[in-house]
Structure 1
Amino acid sequence: MCTNYNATPRDRLPSIVSAMRPPKPDWDWPHEIYNDYAAPIIRLGEDGPEVILASYAMVPKQHIPPGVKKFSTMNARAETIGEKRSYSKQWRDGQLCLVPMESFYEPCYETGVAVRWNIGMADDAPFAVAGLWRSWNEPDGSTAHSFTQITVNADEHPLMKRFHKPGDEKRSLVIVPESEYEDWLECHDPERARSYLQLYPAELMAARPAPAPPRKKKAEPNGVLF
């Protein structure tokens, strides 16, 4: 499953939002997105496609009830998205979104150990993957949003089958062709929405090793590194 990705910067967001509601000037987001990070997503608003900031993972950590073991909702399996409590209502209600990105990361074990790889388009163009969003009523009275990315089986995909641990099921994010952006966002029929959940052609994608940079050492109050 994908647990982090590189978000599309403001000046490279899809043209589908340029004439509608682009992100507010004071909105900002990091390049590399992890669980609970705020990132741009595109959803269907009252006047057409719009960009909003949402937290990565359908159920943010702060909304997991006390005493409940932490669980991940960064990725929703296409096969069970209509059944799982974390996603089913939003799936039935057609709360579909696009998650714009420039690339995402997966582990490759072909050398015998996990090596982080960067996966994107062969021409380095930004793209968008299929997602689902929801709203949250916060204790301070505000409304926040969150999202998940949808994945499909990739056991037979020439590129995506190379990732994850040997013996594990192979999965892939659903990359939505640009020609289908509006159709996906406007789809309110769960059964028809499933027709969009397809693997992207491997020949249009590219991947390369991208080991994570070394973690910075932290310093104790006395200045000693640990």
Structure 2
Amino acid sequence: MCANYRPSTPEALKSFPLPPPDFAYGEAYPGSVVPIVTNFAPRQWVPASFGLVPGWARDAKIVRSTYNARSETLAEKPSFRDAWQRGQLCIIPAEVLYEPCYETGKAVRWAIRRQDGRPMGIAGLWERRAGEVGEVGEGGAAVWSMTMLTINADGHPLMQRFHKPEDEKRSVVILPDAAWGEWLRAKSEGAARALLQGFDAAGLVAEAAPR
């Protein structure tokens, strides 16, 4: 699970073969507007709400419960089923993920990042309300929205350390650099699911980061 992260900076995203984002964003929580790149042509960074807003939703309040999606039930859950069946895949660039660690007996916020400092490409699904590509709607609400996909992390050396002891251990899917293109080009459910794997723990670092 991930309800708080810091998107990669525009400077870090300049290394990718896309024009960098031309909109402002900061530390993200459900409802925040953040950059994503989708498999919708043309490829570009677009402003999306952190939390997927399905077409049938009456308002954007649903993002409080749709910012993460369990990969095992994507084809069943009404909030994510249509986006998954349509193959609406995206990548969410993150500099830091924040998760609670209870090893001291109480919740302490920890920061997780790549050891090499490169952006983490989080696998996600996107949705888009009627509007132009890259548009921000009334009141600053994003036309695009997204959710981060999660997998079981019971056996992951690092990600199993987070969340309450009695909770199932979950992790967002951090795509290896070489898999970014594969994810956006995936044309079948099988091809997409093959990429929903845990990231090598040796490539990640984590430390306490209390507020």
Whose helix fraction is larger, Structure 1's or Structure 2's? 2
Map Cα deviations across residues 135-156 of structure 1 (whole Å, 9 max, x no partner): 124896x981100000000001
How does the TM-score come out when normalised to structure 2?
A: 0.88
The match for 1:146 is: 145
CA 1:69–1:29: 2 relative to 1, 3 Å: closer
Give the aligned CA root-mean-square deviation in angstroms.
Answer: 2.3
For structure 1, the 5+ residue unaligned runs are 213-226
TM-score, normalisation: structure 1: 0.82
Q: What residue in structure 2 maps to residue 29 of structure 1?
A: 25
Question: Larger deviation: 83-92 or 7-16?
Answer: 7-16
Asked if 1:52 corresponds to 2:46, the answer is: yes
Per the alignment, residue 157 of structure 2 pairs with 158
Larger Rg: 1
What fraction of aligned residue pairs are identical, expressed as a percent?
42
Runs of 4+ in 1 over 2 A off after TM superposition: 14-18, 21-24, 44-47, 63-66, 68-71, 137-140
Structure 2 gap segments, 5+ residues each? 132-136
Q: Which residue of 2 aligns with 1:211?
A: 210
Q: Kindly indicate whether residue 124 of structure 2 is the aligned counterpart of residue 131 of structure 1.
A: yes
- Write out aligned runs for 1:1-226 (5 A): 1-13=1-13, 15-18=15-18, 21-24=19-22, 27-30=23-26, 32-47=27-42, 49-59=43-53, 64-65=57-58, 72-137=65-130, 144-212=143-211
Aligned residues: 202
After superposition, give the CA deviation of every residue in 1:83-106 in whole Å (9 maximum; x if it has no partner).
Answer: 111111111111100000101011
- CA–CA distance in structure 1, aligned partners of residues 14 and 86 of structure 2: 24
SS in 1 for 2:145: strand
Q: 1:168, 1:80 → 2: CA distance?
A: 18
